[in-house]
Amino acid sequence: MLHLLRLTLLGLFAVLLSPVLAVWDDEAFVVDWHIPQLGPLDTVLIHFDQESSTEFVTVLSKTNVLASVVDGEFVWRVQLDGHSALVKVSAHRAATVTNYKDGRGELNVWDMRTGFLLSETSFDKQIVDIEPNSGASEVAIILADGSLVKVNRALDKNFIGKLPPFDEVKVHFLGNDNVVILYKEEGTNAASYAFFDGTELKTHRLSIGYDAIVEFVGSKIITHTNKYQAISIDKKTGVASSLVTLINGDKHLPVATEDLVAFEYKRNIEVFDLHGKKQFTIPNVFKYDIQFVNGTFVMYTEYHVNIIDPEDGTEIVSYFLGDEKMPYDNIDRIIPSTNGIDTISSIIEFSDDTYALLHNTVYKWKRDYSLTDIVAQTVVHLEEDVTVVEEGIRHEEELDLLQAYLFRLTRHFEQLKSLYASLVESWPLLLKGQFPFVSTPRDEYFGFVKYLVLATRNGQIVALNTLTGQRAWTFNTGGNCIIALENVDGLIYAFTESGPRFFLDPKTGIEVEKQLLQPSNQIINLHKNKDSFLMETENLDLILSKETEDAYFVKTDEKIIAGYRVHEKDPKKTWSFDVAEDEVILGYSARDLEEKTANVGVVLGDRSVLYKYLYPNVAAFGVLNKKTGILTVNVIDTFTGSILTTQSHKNVFEADFKSVVGEHWIVYTYYSTTPTPEQKIVVIDLFESLVPNTRYSPSNSSSYTHDLPSISTQSFILPYRVKSMALTKTRFGVTTKAILVAFENNQIAYIPKPVLNSRRVVGRDLTADEKAEFLMMPYEPLIKLDDSLVLSHARSVMGADHIVSFPTNLESTTIVCTYGLDVFCTRLSPSSQFDKLTSGFDKLKMSASLVLLIMQLFSLLASTASFLALTNAAGQLQIGVLHKIDPEECTRTASARDEVQVHYTGSLKSDGTVFDSSLKRGQPISFTLGAGQVIKGWDQGIQGMCIGEKRKLTIPSELGYGARGAGGVIPPNADLVFTVELVGIKGYEKDEL
């Protein structure tokens, strides 16, 4: 008996261990991914740190991202707020200049190794140029008002003087504390320069036009009209020399030295001093790149890279790059650095939007920034391959209870083991917070695996797996600027600005067809998921459509919103909304016509109903008066152009208005200085009436005649500035909506719609009825974003200009992605998952408690002599499907009162003895289902079968012949196993169904 008890307890342990493993497998990590981006390169500083023997590449991108890269990975990244510039000020320090929209300029000093902001200072004017004097650890700055300011390492400012008004300006140190400034006089083409000798700033006009200057480095000015000439400025006196005529070369080569000038001439590189004396010649060049770096020339040819002595042109060192040529046709820029002796490290920026570090002859790393400038997106909903899942479920149904648990236990253990193995293999990525998940049949079954298809401005189309972030495919349009992506009729349509339209297979990215259209600047989808588009060209609007039905659409820009009707492929304007000269239109958004509505009203605590205003043609937009700072928010009927309601706000001077339109509400956000500088978020709820149980809308009505909504509105405060907003989408629209928000602090969060409830109770406690209303709460002006509402967590998601949401096969779950600079995707359950454990659930304690419980039970076995009576619960009918009929073929199933014909084979469960079979007789049995003509196990087990379907019925004695047995072949209290096939249903034949 003790042995039997031990086996029973082991079985219990296995039963309990299965859900434990399931929990660990399903909730090991939050499934999201992040592709951090940099963007096209602007300025690059390459620095080798002797202390750590690490090569740092500090980069400022054209997207104003400042970052340091080591071995191809970001060490740190910062997104600057305005237009910026980068200069190196010392061995480990770099300075950035940032200009803001309000006219201020800011100087920041950073540690290039750590990304720490070491110091900062600001100016009341924008900074138009900066030049470091690294020997003296200071910088010279030109402000927009012409002020020349020197700033030392301690950020002490020394105002030197002021320039006359200018249009363009450049400043240089002259190898000492003296400064020269070249500028274009305001409103003219006259070139002048200012010289600071340490005591006084003096200005001088040159005898040349500013547009003739092709190079300015320190005291060197190179000009070109019909010939190349040089001007030298004396470093001590500031006196400019007369023009010196140089060789009339085929091409001028800028070199960052004030002593030499270089030209390409008859396939040679000729280097001269500023007096026109030739220094040396590099013969027979074809494809090359030559730059002056750290006192030497660095020159790349097709097969070599060289360090060249600037005095006589001799090679200090030369490296053979390999048998493959440098791909100059695919290189946009080479940014070299060198120690001048034996080391050359260069950033190579390629035309396919990648950049790499080439160290002497070896590429150390390569990065891709092609997803930076996204101009269009669509999503591909893949057909789920559910065969593996269905086979597992079918197999489990065929097993008995113990076998099923063992099967499930084994499956969870294998899944967990596979997960841990992948985590070990991906440990380097895990240390950086990147989880490289792969899709499974379960993920596909739940609809988690889709393709997010993104198009870049330079013509690349990339499909990303929404579960893993991996590229599924890439298609290059050949540099055509893409203006729209549409997923229609099983194809992806890629519209380009220059005219070609590409048809792509959504699963592979393979080009199926290419169609040449007129150049256009906008594509409007007239019928969702149909091949029906309006193409806006330079002179007229063209309709590309296979549809003949009428369509309605809205066009908008900063000055006008207009509604159109397309009748017989002819678009006609039906209404327009224009704004005044000082006003601009902001943040237009319309209700998604595909949005599903789960209920028509809001149920109050006393069970009465506020009916929602569900008119579909609703949009919202803001109108900002730039002079008065008044923001007017309009809710409009897009069918007729009539205004449904308006809201006004004062002291709004920044055009950062965003809005979203839900099923019966509008949420918008803006930044205002009244009563204090804050980011406001406002909700407008639309109801048929604010009187409960009052409804005006008929069951069918015209878009031309409908009642105006009743308005309920409330304002809240957000803790951060907002970059973009969107709404969650789920499969059936039952799940509570949430507003997705990207903040300017690079975090992505969501706000449940019940939090933004215009009817939240103000200034008093909730009544009993109000407490009974779903998620009703007292009004609090500040929206508190706790950790559970933040989707990006520790990730810094930069440039989230767009947020999109896609439904999955689970109503509770949606996929959320952002793009703009970085690309980020995650899963969200706005109403929480029904079977999700709370964040405070301790899985370790659960597992440990289970183990301790089993150990305690076994320890008690040795000291107990009690007799444990083991009883079996009453048996239940078990049904296993042996042959399933395709649902499309099964249009009629067996139900009560049907006269059915069944083939069967019956056996004893205990030893498998066959006691009867209709197959031996060749004649199926006929009976009325559910009439008690056969045993209860048959009446229950055959219901719902399709003609031709086979089942295995395991019938307990209570549902069989019970204690009496049958015919001498079925003993009393015997459990039975029948294999049954539904041959026919009277009045229905399989070939007729």
Which residues are annotated as catalytic?
904, 915-916, 935, 961, 978
Strand pairing category for 802-807 and 748-752: unpaired
Residue 394 tokens, joined = 């079918």
Helix (H) or strand (E) holding 406: helix 401-425
Query: What is the distance between the alpha carbons of residues 95 and 86, in angstroms, rounded to a whole number?
Result: 6
Residue 567 tokens, joined = 């009748």
Tell whether the torsion through CA atoms of 696, 701, 707 and 709 is positive or negative: positive
Query: What is the distance between the alpha carbons of residues 487 and 490, in angstroms, rounded to a whole number?
Result: 7
Tell whether the torsion through CA atoms of 622, 624, 629 and 630 is positive or negative: negative
CA nearest to 609, candidates 737, 685, 695: 695
Strand pairing category for 823-828 and 32-35: antiparallel
Reduce the DSSP state of residue 774 to 3 states and report it.
Answer: coil
What angle separates helix 387-398 from helix 401-425, to the nearest 10 degrees?
A: 140
Gyration radius of the chain over CA positions: 38
Instruction: Determine how many CB atoms are found less than 10 A away from the CB of residue 567.
Output: 11
**Sheet order of strands, 560-567 included:** 551-556, 560-567, 570-578
CA nearest to 105, candidates 133, 129, 78: 129
Strand pairing category for 374-381 and 362-368: unpaired
Question: What are phi and psi for residue 345, nearest 5 degrees?
Answer: -120, 125
List all residues 6 or more positions away from 644 whose beta carbon is below 8 Å from its beta carbon: 618, 635, 636, 637, 686, 708, 709
Query: What is the distance between the alpha carbons of residues 567 and 575, in angstroms, rounded to a whole number?
Result: 15
353-360 contact pairs (CB < 8 A, 24+): 353/40, 353/456, 353/458, 353/460, 355/41, 357/55, 357/57, 357/69, 357/72, 359/55, 360/305, 360/319
Residue 23 gets which letter from DSSP?
A: H
Give DSSP secondary structure letters for 596-617: --S-SEEEPTTS-EEEB---S-
CB half-sphere exposure, 306, CA atoms < 13 A: 18
Over the range 211-230, which residues count as b (16 or more CB within 10 Å of their CB) and which as e?
Answer: eebebbbbbbbbbbeeebbb
Instruction: Determine how many CB atoms are found less than 10 A away from the CB of residue 970.
Output: 19
